[in-house]
Structure 1
Amino acid sequence: MATYSIYHAGISLNTFQKFTLAQEITKIHANVTGAEAYFAQVIFKELDLHDCFIGGVLLDEPHIFLSGQIRNGRSEQIRKQLLVEIEIAIQKITKLTGHQIWAYLDELAPSLMIEYGQILPSVGSDKAWFATLPASIQNKLTRLNS
């Protein structure tokens, strides 16, 4: 339900940093939104520093750009809390400062999203949606959530 794409330029993230960031972002998403952990995905993509521009000027220091896609239907307070907590986690793990981390959230209608072979439920209808999944998928998601 939530896909967080992390584009990093001028900073190499090792496997442990990626794992730790994915774990932290997943935990933050679950804690702040109340959604199950198996609904959060984190994807990493390294960019060449020389392919990034801000204000038409070549980027001259490391940056992380996070683009998050979440289901619509959450309050402004929840969306802000997600952004702030994720930025703090990125700072802690990468040692970058706030001005080097840019984060954005896009909201999508659940009816325009499909995961695990099913159109996604509206916020608050997760349990009913889960019950409609095949047992093999339910077992997989239960393992992911533990």
Structure 2
Amino acid sequence: MPIYNVVTALNVVSDEQKASLAADITRIHSEITGAPTSFVHVTFNELSGTNIYSDSVPSQPLLITGITRAGRADREKAELAKAVSSAAAQVTGVPEKRILVVITDHPARFAVERGRILPEPGVEDDWLDEQAKP
């Protein structure tokens, strides 16, 4: 379920950097939360320079919103936000002072993936095993 949406201005992040950042976000999310990598989705939205502002002037930040399943400790979500910010800076070359990462969560019972209500954190293997049954 986690959905990470990266918003920035056009041509700030190359296609190669997008692929690398998506891989890093997927790895980081899985390592910190224990969720399977197959659950992680990463999208990129690029806006023209006149459609993204910081401090009321056109800018080129990386704005990363992560939506995860509720039930994780605040410490874990803070660790996740910091690790994603660091990886984004390293991969893209955008300074961390221009990167904003926000992690929000929603109850798993309000999300459907693969046609099924998502499991609570920690019981993903059982959910995946049930999915594999004929």
Q: Same fold (TM over 0.5)?
A: yes
CA displacement at 1:117 relative to structure 2: 1.4
Q: Distance in 2 between matches of 1:65 and 1:49?
A: 14
Contact 1:8 1:62 in 2 (8 A): yes
| TM alignment of 1:100-119, pairs within 5 A | 100-119=98-117
CA displacement at 1:9 relative to structure 2: 1.6
So what's the TM-score if we normalise by structure 2?
A: 0.93
Contact 1:11 1:63 in 2 (8 A): no
Aligned residues with identical type, % of pairs: 25
Q: CA RMSD in A?
A: 1.5
**Corresponding position of 1:142:** none
1:10-60 residue CA offsets vs partner (Å, 9 max, x unmatched): 5432221111000000000000001110010000110112112234x122x
1:47-92 residue CA offsets vs partner (Å, 9 max, x unmatched): 112112234x122x32110011000000011101100100000000
Contact 1:11 1:62 in 2 (8 A): no
Which amino acid counterpart does residue 58 of structure 1 have in structure 2? V
**Corresponding position of 1:140:** none
Matched, 1:6 2:6: yes
Q: Distance in 1 between matches of 2:63 and 2:11?
A: 12
| TM alignment of 1:51-70, pairs within 5 A | 51-55=51-55, 57-59=56-58, 61-70=59-68
CA displacement at 1:107 relative to structure 2: 0.4
Q: Distance in 1 between matches of 2:10 and 2:18?
A: 15
1:86-131 residue CA offsets vs partner (Å, 9 max, x unmatched): 0000000111111110111110100111111111000111111112
Q: Between Structure 1 and Structure 2, which shows a larger proportion of helix residues?
A: 1
Which amino acid counterpart does residue 45 of structure 1 have in structure 2? N
Number of paired residues? 134
**Corresponding position of 1:121:** 119
**Corresponding position of 2:29:** 29
CA displacement at 1:5 relative to structure 2: 0.4
So what's the TM-score if we normalise by structure 1?
A: 0.86
